[in-house]
Amino acid sequence: MRGIQILRRKVRSFRDEVARWGLLADLYYYLMRSVSGTLVIARVFVRDLPAARPDELPDGFSVRPATRDDLLNASSNPALGLTPRSIYPAIRRGDRCDAAFCGAQLVAYVWRSCTEAPMGRGLSVTTSKPYRYGYDAFTLPQYRGIGLHDALSAVADNYCISRGFTMGISYGETHNFPSTRMTRRLGGRA
């Protein structure tokens, strides 16, 4: 009986994804996930950083640079994907994490580096002016779609511009459709 419930949930999830992205895109997603241990196909995006004003946030939300303590406290929530093992090296490198808070709870974040940062799979990216590297952006599922990422990007972009970094560079795997859509919406060009 439990196996049937799991199968029904997977079928329902697949149908939802097909309705959102289309059958071919969804099949591509599953193909790329199945070969991700041996093959990665990614796009590099570049965009001009516009001086921007953060959008109005819903009541109870705020956006600001995350402190070390904010990040370490948030690392107790495994859904956020933050660990002391990733936080401490980023802070030592001088990377900046801007975060969105619902009350006192960290619910979304973006990392920016103006030097060198991890790209994944043992690789790293090194940048210099006028480029900054954007990596590791995440919003808890229940807080998606309310403009938190746009507000985070505006705060992070304004900070980078104030330091002379006027271009943004990032990368995303070709099957990460939400990330690609968000990057293009913010002006990213592959």
Residue 9 pLDDT: 85
Residue-wise pLDDT for 20-74, tens only, equals 778 887 787 788 788 777 887 888 888 999 877 777 888 999 999 999 999 999 9
Whole-model pTM: value is: 0.81
**Cβ-Cβ contacts under 8 Å for 120 (sequence gap 6 or more):** none
Q: How confident is the chain (190 residues) per 10-residue block, as mean pLDDT? A: 80 80 80 79 87 80 96 96 95 96 96 88 87 93 91 92 93 80 80
